[in-house]
Each structure stands twice: as structure tokens, then as C-alpha cells.
Structure 1
Amino acid sequence: MRSLGKAILFALAILAAAPAAAQDTGAAPAPDSRAQATNPAPPSTLSPAPTAVAAPGVTPLDPVRLEAFVDGWMTDAMNRAHVAGASVAVVQNGQVVLKKGYGFADLNPRRPVDPDRTLFRIGSVSKTFTWILVMKEVEAGRIRLDRPINLYLPEKVRLPGRLREVTVRNLMEHTPGLEDRALGQLFENDPRRVRPLDLYLRQERPGRDRSPGILSSYSNYGVGLAGAAVALGEGKSFERLVEEDITLPLGMRYTTFREPRPERRGLPAAMPAALRPHVSAGFGWRTAGFVENDYEYIGHIAPAGSASSTAGDMSRYMLMLLGDGSWNGATVFGPVAARAFRSPLRQTTDGMNGWAHGFIVYDLPGGHKGYGHDGATIAFHTKMVVVPDLGLGVFITTNSENGHRLSRAFPDAVVQHFYAQPQTFPRPPSRELGQSADMFTGSYLTTRRANGGLEGFVGLLVGASEVVVQGGRLLTGQGGEVKSWVPDGPLAQGRFIATTGNERLFFRLEDGRAVSYRDEMNAFTMKRAALTERASILALGAGLTVFAAVATFAGLALRNRRELRQNQIQARASMVQTMQAGLWIAAFGLFAAFADQALDIQKVMYGWPGPLLIAASACALVAAALTLVTIAALPAVWQGGRRVDSWTAPRKTFFTLTVLIYALFSVLLAMNGALEPWSR
């Protein structure tokens, strides 16, 4: 179960990648094409965005010192995390200060990373391109943030029912109220399974989880809707719109939302042939070393994460963002959008991301504010942060499954080293926290998961977090990863900070007890789990069920002659319960085999749900259904009395307890989607 948690939590929680492809039968522009910005923004009614030049008194980075620091940091981090290749870019005050590749883009034969040519998947950093296109439409007056997204969508992909009230603003702040589904459809390893954007949005529409605008819960699907809306407004495919409005004006010749697949009617044109030799492979680390992963196709939901780019191109992109939408004579967006991308949409407590019109707000060391996005696919991990008061932009991308350990920490490390006071770790424990442990301890469950079915059930197991207090520190555990925190102010505020870093945690307290918590990214909420949703209760039910099943088979072998006496109804009831025991044991065995397979993240994503999990669910469903038969037989089983042809009282009692255990466990599984082998 622990290995299952690590693998599927990785697949569910860090998948910050992409939505789909629109119609485009024209050839993609060549990578050396040029274009000029053709849609200058109208005059803004808002005040201009903050200047991109570092504030007076800010010492610019020394390129030599910066390169020495980054070389040491990257070498150490890549070795510890087993990362095959990475690429970084640092810009400041309108100039590229550092642009460098590390490691390899391919291992057979070896191809070093070239920061100007090697294409990495940048995952959800792609979303920032989508939000730029949306804000360009806002500036032009063609889209309004507080109007329903349905007004701007093709009729066949409009949201039905109560989802019709979802607004453009809801999508930008990730509050559309949708459940989150990813397994088996967000990523594909077979290009034949890539679908047009509108078809993907129709076929993979998630269910409604809550009313829009209530809480932020990350939604790739929502960004797909936004991308479809801007593409419809311009009458072009999303991929071509990005090229014409962003990448070509900025000279980003090695950036594309297109993928290296065969051309197919009904889909946008594929990646140009000139770019394909420069695509980096993705890697996983196994006992024997690096293993090359399958290519991750995300084109069916392109606006959320299908972009590939280089450190060189992303340096241009960051310079444009720091330049309020303009760079090198090209204007991508105007002052309205520039201000929006530094203005949070949601009112949040200090230190928590408020979604600056789709961009993530980062609290950086030294009290600096950053704006940008994280990105993750299965093998690629990326982070881009621009820091306006320092005139600084930092970009990192990696091509290995463990790359998130680098991408999450690198921008903070740069700012900490050059623009913040040294800190002493670990932070000391809190005596007050130790005395008030009951306020926070308990089981919590993420809101970013599927509502039901097999994906909902697995999400229940791996999306749980156990919070405990030990030695004056608060510990959170999820997917085998444990983090340590100490109070960041009075306990009544519910604010915590990492003992060995600057990450923060925010608890919501009611009547002196925590009911939920969020981290600084504000991408989902961890709510106190209901009794029926707790992994510990499921484990207890599973343990009792296994015990009852094994005892049933043991009873067949160990009963004496007197205990074998039974009437006809008891004989049939015994046969049914023996069948149940076999089915339950088979279900647990199949699920254990599935959990073992889940060590390979690709098998989980591409093969979901797979024959093992379907068979496990089917066995459990039949076993649960047979419980109805044994419940119906209970009165007749007990009517046997003390007659010669009847069970003994202990055997009747064991039969009844087994029925009760199976019934309760069946209800528990049914409530959490485990008895739906037909579901995804």
C-alpha cells in the first residue's frame, strides 16, 4: 500500500500538465520564422504595472558568482535526486545573466543539454501562455472576467446544468468547483489516442464537486476550457494562436505546443521536423540506473501543459513578463494584463497564493514577491518565477521523475543566497504546540481528487494526510513523504512554517480545532476526513475481512464431525460464505498485485485502470452482492435450534459475525467507489 501511495500520489498530485488540441490543418511555422506583434493593447483604465527594473539599492547579480553558485547547487542536487538533465536561465534588468545546460538530453547515444536548443516539456508553465491569451482578449474587450465561460465556448463543449455559472475568473483562480480526474486520460503514450481539444473537453468532462468561487482546487480541465474560448474567439487553433501572438513575436524559435507525432486529419499540425531532433527524452531512476520513459502526449489538452521550450527561449519570455508585456520591440500584451499578472484575484492570508490572474504568487526569501508557475509531467519538472522588485527572472527545467526536488527549490535558493539574510535551521520546537496537539492531529483528505469510481477510491487512499504532533513539531505525512513544521505566530492563527525551509501551512480553526489546512500554493484544501473516508478505517475493515475469510477456510479443515451437522439452508449458506471468502481473498491479492505494478508510474497513468484493478473490484462487488444472500439466510440459520441436523451455537455466532463484517466492509467500499469495476 505504501508503494501504491508513492506512485499514484506522484501521478495525481504533481500532474500540472495540459489540455487539448483544436482544428488546424495548416503546416506549423518553421522554427526560424519571424512575425511582428499585430494586436497592440488599447489604452488601459488601470494604472500602469510596476516597473521591471530592480529597485534602487538592489545589487545586480554578478554573472561569475552566480554561475559558480548555480554550478555547485545543480551538481549536488542532480546527483542526490538522480536527475539526468536540466537547463536553467536567470535574467535581470533586461539582460540574460546565466543560461546553461546540465547533464544529458539523451543517454544512448549521449547528447548534452544545450540551453538554446534542447526542448524540455514545461508542464503547467504552459498555462501562463493561456492566461496571456485570455488577458489579451480581455484587453480587447472580447472577454469579460465575470461573465460565464459558456458565452465564449463552442456550443458542443459548453458546461451543462449548474456548471453553467462558472466564470472566466473562476477558471483563472482555479475555483470552478470541478472534481479532478487525471488517470488514463491526461497523459497518453500512444499518439493515436490524442484527440482534438473540443472532443477531449466533451468526453472527459469532470463532475461538479462544489459551487464555483468557493475554494481553490487546481483544475487542468478548467484551463482547457479557457484555451478553447480564446481559440474560438480568434477562429484559429490554440497552437497557432500561441505562435502568432507570443512565440514568433518574441523570437522563441524553439518553443512549441505541438508534439512529435504523425500528422492526422482533424488535429493541429504536429511539431516541425526541424525541432524533433532537439527534444529531450524523459527518464526514471531505477535500481539499474536511468530508464527512458515513453513520450508524454498532452496535445489533447494543450492549453494546460503541452508546451516544450528551452532555457534560452524562456529567458526571452521572462524578460517580456518583467517588461510589462514588451521586449525587444515586440509587444505581447498591454498594461491591463501586466498589472493583472501581479494582482491576486483571491483575498488570502498573508503568505498564501491568491492566483494573480492565473499566475502563482510566491513568497520568496527576504520578503520578496514572485510571480510565475510550476509545471510537471511524469518525467519533466519546471518552475518559472519573475521577481519585479529585483528585476529578476529564474527558470529551471529537468527531464527526470525526481526533478521536482530541484525545480521547487532552485528559485528560492538563488534569491536566498543573493538577496536574503542567512537563516539557521532547523527551527526550534514549540512547547505550546506540544500542549495543544489535539487542535491539529487527525486524518485529512485532499479536495483535489475524483468524486467516485475507482479513481476516487484510489485517490482516497493516496490523497490522505495524517497530521501528528511530536516533540513540539507538527508532522504531515502524505504518500510516504513526511514534512515537519513549527508555529509561525500564535497557535490561534493556525500558521506554520517548515522547520528546514520557508514553506508555509495554514490551518482553518473552528471552535479551537482545525477543520482543514492549505499550503502556500493554495491549489487544494486538506479537509478533516469523515469516518468512512479514513484510510485507518478502511484498513481496519480490510483486516477484519481477511481474518474472517481465512477463518472460514480454516473452519472447513478443523471442524469435528458434530460441527459438520447442518440442515439444507445452513449448508447452502455455508457454501455462499465460502465463496465470499475466496472472492475477498482474490480481491485483496489482485489489489496487492496492482499496488506492486504501481511502482511504475507510467503503468498507472497509461494503463488505468488495468485488468488487475478491474478484476479486484469485480471480485469485491460479487462478494458484496453475496452478502445480501447470507443476510437473508440469517433467520433460517438460527432457527435450527439444538436439533441433531443443526449447527452449534458457536458456529452460528461466527457465521453471523462474518456476515456483519462483510456487510459493513461492503458498505464502506460502495460509499468510496471501490465496487464499480466499470468505472475509470
Structure 2
Amino acid sequence: MTSRVSPAAAFMAVMLALWSAAGSEARAQDAVASAPASTTAQPETSVRPYSSLRQRRARPQRPVATAPAARPAPVVAAAPPPVTPPTPGITPLPRPELEAFVDGVVQRAMTRDHIAGVTLSVVQNGQVVLKKGYGFANLGQRKRVDPDKTLFRVASISKTFTWITLMNEIEAGRMRLDGPVNLYLPEPLQVKDQGKKTQVRLRDLMTHTAGFEDRALGQLFERDPNRVRPLTDYLRQERPRRVREPGLMPSYSNYGAALAGAAVSNVTGKPFEQLVSEEIILPAGMTRTTFREARPWRDDLPAPMAETLAADLSDAYSWTAMGWKTQPREFMGQVAPAASASSTASDMARYMTLLLNGGTIEGRTIFSPKTAQAFRTPMYRPSPDAAGWNAGFQDMPLPGGRRGFGHQGATLYFHSNLVLVPELGLGIFVSVNTDSGAHLPATLPSTIVEHFYAPAPAVPAVSALSYEQARAFEGDYLTSRRSYGGLEGFTNRLIGRAQVRATPDGRLSVTDGGFTSLYNGAARPGVFKAVDGPLTLVFDTNGDRPSRFYAARGFATYERIGFLRSASLLSWTVTIAGLACVATILGALFRNRREARQTPIQARAGQMQVMQAVLWLISASCMGVFAAKAADQTNVFFGWPSGWLLSGSACALVAAALGVLTLGLLPMVWRGGRRVDSWSDGRKVAFTFTALLLGFLSVLLGLWGYLLPWMS
């Protein structure tokens, strides 16, 4: 019996269910960025390649990495003054009041968002003001979060360590910021032209403007440690498309950061994990921070995490109808420079002190004041009012008109945020171990700054724009941070959309990643300020209608979608096509003898259309099963490509091919034979309508990438 699942229901289910996967590193950061804070050069071809530095140093054979008993002798220098000393007159945070306030915010979030464990630290003027753990690191053993001992996965905050090592090599003169990255990579890892005229520079990697597509499913995270690949193998095998020239627009790239780490490793001749430990972690006294992962020893990979650290690594959780569910460990060693670090709140307090104090901690210089200044100075902004990137750090707008710098990070289950406010001498780190807890780390730093230093101003009564003016910005926009082909591109097109609508009072309502935020039009054209929070949206106003806007945190550019790629057109087409398929099958089953009169050509055409209808409904049913399973993002990331999705795509491809043949038979179907031996005009019209409709559906799904099962 053929399933009668509505294709529209299946596709809409995918759009809703797959969004949970966007909470991961592949998509979450832009989604939570919209939550309100109060509640929430030319390539240098003359540079000589470092061919003499491309041989990797032999790795010593040992069973596991060991926790260091003593630090190597660091470079001792006179401590320079902070790059930007705290503004005179700034009152330091009162510790009792801060702890009471943070306790309330965290406990409410843990209850509301079902968070199993939280770790955080706050530093100011070189002192730890607050360091605390909440909830559990291991629910089964009732092991509580200890800010001094419990390691959380900090994900993309790892990139900030990579940028420090890169800037150190640039200052030493062994690398150049505007030099092509290919000068510092072995030949197998070099970025191919792929039809682009400009080479990718180190600067482009640091500002996420290299022009790479962003792929994640089935390869960014691994559940089986035996599937983890060496960094060089991953970079060679998972090379992304170059979808635009470098330097044109921001689009966050894990691959780009991992490539930068490989370049530094190649120039220094040291494995990345060893390099970052020797240059940053050990000299800074961060004895419970590591880029190594808790997995068995393998000869082709760096040594695993020391057992003393692995014993205190927090478990990961998700909230289900049955309560908290312990999730499998995520392995990211294949992109170690981009994502594999684990740390404690105590160590992150030392790291924030280092960043705020110009690269020096306890008399030890890790990086220069010049580098420290680069980390808090915009290196790239797509527009003067837009959020941008410093030297690899996010440029962060904060309440009260202040600006900070830092980085967010997310695995499938851990969510973290690191925010530094130089003018306040303030640093805030927070991390959670539950997939539903992204809101707390996204908003806590701004909430603290707002509460103690910048009470929220009154919301403007009116927008600077009228309703008619605001309507020019309406539309559906698609993120540039996505895969651009195949089935992953198809799913990204479903979930990577932002819907912009004008309100009667001239504001913009922006729905992105499940969050809806209101923005007031500002006096400057194309600039919109969040009604509740410090975020800003900036639209490109060239032409009659804006063609794009820049995400509030600088992670991506959202480009306006044309009518043929709109979700509403696809949804309506799928709905009507589904009804037509059901009607076609029912007609074949229950048509009476008189209506069954037909020519041989009509008989073949009718059979082909019935086969099409069956295949389209099977495809929709497979999509429905995939959507149901995609409600658990583990199935999407670790089980990609899904057999259900591949089957649905293959059925749709065969149905589309049959549709081409059916359309070719239309002239002969209409010519028919004698009237008594041919279809009635009504049946010919119905057949033609269904053939054209299914042909149009095939074109749409081809544009969306659904008809490419071999490009998963």
C-alpha cells in the first residue's frame, strides 16, 4: 500500500526539526546572537615559501600525555602596562552583589532551559571577582561542577589560542599578515584557485572572509574516536568550495581556522597541540587546559588527554521528555586549532587576565602589547556600523555604547562565551554542558555589564522610518554560512533563513534561528538598532531594494532570496503536487472501464505518471522519517548522510527523470486516436496539469539541491 504522507507536511517538518541541528557549532552562534541582552591587500607573491620548515618533528612515542609537573622556563620580562587601562572612575564590581545577581540569573536559566551544569568566572583589574560552578558534571555519579577542576569543552574559543600563535609568528617575521596562506602550507594542503583570481591571505582567515562555503554534517564532529583523522588528512579530504573571492563578505569558517593552525604548525615544525601548549598554556599557568582529547592512543594522532584531566571532563547532556540524557562524547581533533580545547573556569580566568593585561601574566610575556592591541582593534568590518572581526576575535557591542572583544563557542551540547571589556578591565567566561542552554552564555556577559554599568535606556517610542519605508527591507534572506551544493546544501537552505517583516510602527521584526527580535530604524540609511539590547543590523542599501544584511555578531551575511528559492513557493508547490499525486494513484485504481479507453501511447504515459506519483510520495515519506529522526541533532551530525534522506533524494531523481519523458509524450497524448479509443479532454487536461506541476516541482528541487543524492 502506497503511503499517503503529504509531501508538504514532510518538508515543513524538516524545516522545523532540522533547526535543532543549527544549535551546534555549524549554526548556533548567529541564532542566539539575536536574543535580547536584558533577558538574554594584494597577495605577496615575492615571499619565499618556508620549504625548509615543512618536515614535521618526530613525535615521541608514549602511552598518554602527562600532566606537566613543572612549566618550562618562560620568557621573563618587565610587565608592560595594560594596553587599555580601565577608565578612571569605574567602580569595581562588588563581589557579594555580583555573586547574588549571577546566582539568580544562572539558577533561573538552569530551571527554564533544563541545564545540567554551568561553570563561570569573572575577572576585573587582574583579580578573580567570581569563580563558581553550578549543577552537575556527571549526573550518574552526582559529581558537581568544580570551577577549579571540571573541564568543559570550549569549542570555538579554541580559535583564539590559534590566533595568538599566528600573531607571534607574524611578529617574529616568519609569516606575513597579508601573505598568501599557500606560502606557509605544504603542497597537499594549499588552497586551490577553483576559478578565483585572488589568493587567500592569512588576514582573510582571521576575519572569516576567505570565501569558503561552510560544511559540517558528518565530518566536523565524530562520535567514534577511530574515525578521528589527523589534521592534515582532514584539511586535504574535506576541502570546501571557494564560493566567492576573499575579502568580500564575512562567513564564519571552521575550516579556515584549522587551516591557519596547520600553517603555523608547518612554519614552526611542531604539531599544533605541542605548539599551543608550549607557547601559551604552560607559560600562562593554565595547568588544566588542553587541546588533546580523551580517547585511546593512536600512532597517527597526537597523544590523548592526560588521564588526570580526562577524569574531570564534564559529560554532555540533552533534555528529553524523560529527563536529561547523557550524550556521546564529541571528538574534534581533526579540526583541533578550531575547536578541540577543554578548560576550567579557573584557567579561563587566567586566560582573560592575560588578554586584558597586554599579553603578560605574573611577569611572563606570552604575546606582545602590539598583538594585544590588534585583538581589540577592528581588522575587518563590512560596514562602519556593522559588527566585525578584530585579529580573529569578535568585535562585540555591549550595553551603554561600550565595545568588547571575545569569542563564542559551541559543540552539539556545550555552549560557551568569552567576553572582555578593556575599558572596564573586565572579563567574563561562562559555559554550559547541555544542548538547550545556549541562551545563558550568549546573554550573561551583556546582562552583567548592563546591570552594573549601563542601565537599559528607555525604548524609543517610534522608529526613524515609516511603515512604507521599512517595507523596502522585507523579505527572506539566506545565510552565506552554509554548504552550497548537494543534500547538505539542501538542508542548509531549509534552516539557514532569516525572515524580515515590517511592523506598522516602522520597525523590523527579524526571525532567525527560532528567535524574533525587533529593530528600530536609525537615522543612517540601512542601520537598525535592537529595541532590547546593543545589537545592530546593517543592510546594504545599494539599488532600489537592499540585497543583503550583515548578521549582528558578524558570523555571516544574509542575502535576499529570489522568488524561485522562497520557502513559501516550495511549500505550496509540494502541497499541490502531493494532492495531485494522490489523485493520480486513486484515479488509476478506481477508473471505470469507459474512462480507461486509451491509445498505446496514452497507456504508457499514464503508467509513467502513476510511477512518478508513487515515487514522489515515497520520497516525501522518507523525508518525513528523516525529519522525525532529525529532532535529535546527534542523528544528523553523526549519522550523515542519512539513509532515509538518500533514499528520498534518489526516488525524487528517478521521478524527475520520468517526468522529463512524460512531458516529451504530451503532444502524442493530445493527438490520441479515434475519439472512442482515446482519453477524454478532461483526462488530457488533468494529465497535462499533473505533468507540468511535477516538472515544475523537479525544477524547484533541483535548484534547492535535493536531486543530487551522490553529493551528500
Considering the TM-score relative to the shorter chain, is it more than 0.5? yes
What's the CA shift for 1:481? 2.9
How big is the shift at 1:314?
0.4
- The letter of the residue matching 1:609 is P
Identify the range of structure 1 (363-372 vs 512-521) with the bigger mean alpha-carbon deviation: 512-521
**Partner of 2:426 in structure 1?**
392
Contact preservation (8 Å) 1:23, 1:196 = no
Change (3 A) 1:22 1:192: farther
- Classify 1:232/1:41 alpha carbon distance in 2 versus 1 (closer, same or farther; 3 Å): farther
Choose which of 415, 420, 423 in structure 1 pairs with 2:449: 415
Deviations 1:526-548 (A, max 9, x none): 11102222111211221222122
Q: CA deviation at 1:88?
A: 0.8
The answer for the alignment partner of 2:535 in structure 1 is: 503
Structure 2 residue 67 is matched with structure 1 residue 31:
yes
TM alignment of 1:294-333, pairs within 5 A? 294-333=328-367
**1:183 corresponding residue in structure 2:** 217
Q: Does 2:154 correspond to 1:119?
A: no
Match of 2:503 in 1: 470
Deviations 1:38-95 (A, max 9, x none): 56899xxxxx986354221111112111111111111112211111111111111111
Letter in 1 for 2:492: G
SS state of the match for residue 409, structure 1? helix
**Counterpart pick for 2:202 among 140, 152, 168:** 168
1:383 to partner: Cα distance: 0.6
Instruction: Give the counterpart letter for 1:619 in structure 2.
Output: C
Give the TM-score taking structure 2 as reference length. 0.90
- Alpha-carbon offset, residue 109 of structure 1: 1.5
2:520 maps to 1:486:
yes
Q: Of the candidates 241, 247, 257, which is equivalent to residue 213 of structure 1?
A: 247
Runs ≥4 residues deviating over 6 A: 39-42
> Map of 1:74-473 to 2, 5 A cutoff?
74-162=106-194, 165-424=199-458, 428-430=461-463, 432-472=465-505, 473=507
Deviation string, structure 1 residues 576-601 (Cα, Å, up to 9, x no partner): 11000000001011101111111101
Tell me which of 593, 612, 626 is aligned to 1:561.
593
Q: What residue ranges of structure 1 are gaps of 5+ in the alignment?
A: 43-47
CA shift, 1:642, in A, is 4.4
Match of 1:98, SS? Answer: strand
Q: Post-superposition shift, 1:503?
A: 2.2
Cα 1:266–1:633 change in 2 (3 A) is same
Cα separation, partners in 2 of 1:49 and 1:606, compared to 1, 3 Å:
farther
1:677 to partner: Cα distance: 1.2
- Report deviation, 1:506: 1.4
> Does the 8 A contact of 2:250 with 2:382 survive in 1?
no
Equivalent residues of 1:171, 1:222 under 8 A apart? yes
Letter matched to residue 488 of structure 2 = E
Give the CA deviation at 1:96: 0.8
Distance in 2, matches of 1:432 and 1:54, equals 38
- Distance in 2, matches of 1:63 and 1:234, equals 43
Give the 3 Å change call, closer, same or farther, for CA 49–113 of structure 1 in structure 2: same
The Cα shift of 1:341 comes to 0.8
Deviation at 1:641, TM superposition (A): 4.7
Pairing of 1:3-22 with structure 2 (within 5 A): 3-11=16-24, 12-14=26-28
Residue 551 of structure 1: how far off its partner (Å):
1.3
Q: 1:582 aligns with which of 608, 614, 619?
A: 614
Q: How many angstroms apart in 1 are the aligned matches of 2:463 and 2:203?
A: 40
Provide closer, same or farther for how the CA distance between residues 602 and 41 of structure 1 changes in structure 2, counting only shifts above 3 A: farther
Q: Secondary structure at the match of 1:61?
A: coil
Amino acid at match of 2:120: V
Deviation at residue 357 of structure 1 after TM alignment? 0.6
Q: Which residue of 2 aligns with 1:45?
A: none
Unpaired runs of at least 5, structure 2: 1-12, 31-55
Who is 1:595 aligned against?
A: 627
Q: Answer yes or no: is the 8 Å Cα contact 2:387–2:536 preserved in 1.
A: no
In the alignment, the residues of structure 2 paired with residue 49 and residue 144 of structure 1 have an alpha-carbon distance, to the nearest angstrom, of 27
Instruction: Give the drift of 1:344.
Output: 1.1
1:111 deviates by: 0.7
**In 2: Cα distance, 1:614 partner to 1:327 partner:** 53
Please state whether the residue corresponding to 1:617 is helix, strand or coil: helix
Structure 2 CA distance for partners of 1:460 and 1:37, relative to 1, 3 Å: farther
Q: How far is 1:603 from its partner?
A: 0.6
3-state SS of the aligned residue for 1:445? strand
In structure 2, the CA distance between the partners of 1:237 and 1:600, relative to structure 1 (3 Å rule), is same
Change (3 A) 1:76 1:625: same
Q: Give 1:216 shift.
A: 0.8
Structure 1 SS opposite 2:437:
helix
Task: Supply the distance in 2 between the matched residues of 1:597 and 1:209 (Cα, whole angstroms).
Answer: 31
- Aligned pair in 2 of structure 1 residues 49, 475: CA closer, same or farther (>3 Å)? farther
Residues 150-172 of structure 1 deviation map (CA, whole Å, 9 limit, x = unaligned): 10012111111246700000000
Q: Percent identity?
A: 47
1:662 pairs, out of 666, 691, 694, with 694
Quote the Cα distance in structure 2 between the aligned partners of 1:611 and 1:37. 54
Aligned residue for 2:3?
none
From the superposition, tell whether residues 395 and 640 of structure 1 become closer, same or farther in structure 2 (CA, over 3 Å).
same
The separation in 2 between residues aligned to 1:170 and 1:431, in whole angstroms, is 35
Contact 2:381 2:387 in 1 (8 A): no
Hey, what's the Cα distance between the residues in 2 that align with 1:128 and 1:41? 23
Aligned residues: 669
**TM-score, normalised relative to structure 1:** 0.95
How far does the alpha carbon of each residue in 1:320-343 deviate from its partner, in whole angstroms, 9 at most, with x for none?
A: 111111101221111221121112
2: CA distance between counterparts of 1:479 and 1:101? 29
The DSSP-based 3-state class of the residue aligned with 1:252 is coil
Q: Cα offset for 1:352? A: 2.8
Assess if the C-alpha contact under 8 Å between 1:33 and 1:253 holds in 2.
no
CA 1:639–1:657: 2 relative to 1, 3 Å: same
Q: CA contact under 8 A between 1:49 and 1:339: conserved in structure 2?
A: no
CA separation of 1:365 and 1:437: change in aligned 2, threshold 3 A? closer
Structure 1 residues 257-304: Cα deviation after superposition (integer angstroms, max 9, x where no partner):
111100001100000111111000111111121111111100100000
